[in-house]
Each structure stands twice: as structure tokens, then as C-alpha cells.
Amino acid sequence: MAERGQLQKELYLARSMTDRANILTVSLRDNEPKWHDLKFDVGMCCEAALRASFEAAGEIGARGEVSILLSSDSVIARLNRKYRGVEGPTNVLSFPADSATSQFESEIPPLLGDIVVAFETLVEEAEAARITMQAHLAHMVVHGALHLLGFDHQVEAEAEVMEKLEVESLQSLGIGSPYMESSL
């Protein structure tokens, strides 16, 4: 385990999804020490959730890098205010990368975007829904990844598609639907 407050670990999901040219990479870091106290492998949970969301969305041949920041309510509240104009923390924020291509794309995978997850909000929501923190973290990574892929839930028809993909992703990880009555 890394020192508290320092880079927890960097994970590379170098799973060839169709051929060697298509590699999805995840860069994971934290700036909230409480993530280190969880009793499961947070990195593997994030990696598996990211992979499951891309597969459910039909992006099995995706090539690029996703950055996941395991953070706190205070950090995510600042980001929420700055980028969405909304006061207070939220559970997850996604920031899709600009789709402009790079002259180095053949050597350097494109950045697909960033996902930020808030520790305290996830703990509160998991306790309220009576689900494990691991299941809720996986759900939030799946949710954030689907946003990076262009899915949204502002319109009911789009929300139905996104929820279906979330449920499919989570089921592939052995996690029940978060949209059941006993859940969020």
C-alpha cells in the first residue's frame, strides 16, 4: 500500500480487446487517504467496472486512456461548482476529452477523459441503499465511463438506454441492478 495522500497505484488495463492496436488504459490515482482504508482492491474494482462499461456499450475495440481520480467531497464540490455551476458535492463527475486527433495518435493512445469519484458521498449513498462500497464504486465508475462514451440521462429515452447499459455492466461483474426498489 502506498503512503497516505500519495499516488496509490497506477493500473494499466492492457487487455487487447480486438488486436494489439486497441488497448484501453486506466490511470488511477487518489487525493483522499480514506480510499486506502477500504477492505477491497479499489484499483481492480475500478479497472473491472471500466472494462465492463466499455464492453456493454459495444466499445470492445476502444483504444485510449481514462483517468480516474478517487477524491473527496470537498474536491468534487469545487469541480461541480466550477464546471457545472452546481453547489455542493456529487457522487461522480465525468469530463470527456476533446475529440481532436493528435499527430502522435499511432504511438500515444488518445485521452478519452477523466472520472472523479467522491469518497464521503459514496459512503453515505452505499449505507443508505444498503449496498457494499465496492458495488457502489463500481456503479459510479460505470456511470462515469458511459458519460465519457457520450451517453447521458437528461432526457428520459436517453436515461433508459444509459440505465440499461449500467445494469448490464454491473451484472457482468456480479452486481445487482442499482435501480431496484431497495437500492439508489
- Domain residue limits, the chain: 24-172
User: Average pLDDT in the 108-136 region?
Assistant: 94
Comparing CA positions, the residue from 87, 91, 86, 108 lying closest to residue 27 is 108
Say if CB 43 and CB 8 are below 8 A apart. yes
Strands 24-30 and 64-71: parallel
Handedness of CA 77, 79, 81, 83 (dihedral sign): negative
Q: Cβ neighbours of residue 36 under 8 Å, at least 6 residues apart?
A: 1, 2, 4, 8, 30
Which cell is 65 given? 486512456
With CA atoms as reference, report the closest residue to 23 among 34, 15, 32: 15
42-87, pLDDT tens digit by residue?
A: 999 999 999 999 999 998 777 888 999 999 999 999 999 999 999 9
Q: How far is CA 8 from CA 22, 35, 41, 76, 128, in A?
A: 26, 9, 11, 18, 27
Give the pTM: 0.84
Measured torsion, CA atoms of residues 42, 45, 46, 48, in degrees rounded to the nearest 10: 160
Question: What is the per-residue pLDDT across 131-181, written as a single tens digit (0 to 9) for each?
Answer: 999 999 999 999 999 999 999 988 888 889 999 999 999 999 999 998 875
Superfamily of domain 24-172: Metalloproteases ("zincins"), catalytic domain (3.40.390.30)
Which phi-psi region, left, alpha or beta, contains residue 114 (left: φ > 0; alpha: ψ -120 to 50)?
Answer: beta
Q: At 64, which helix (H) or strand (E)?
A: strand 64-71
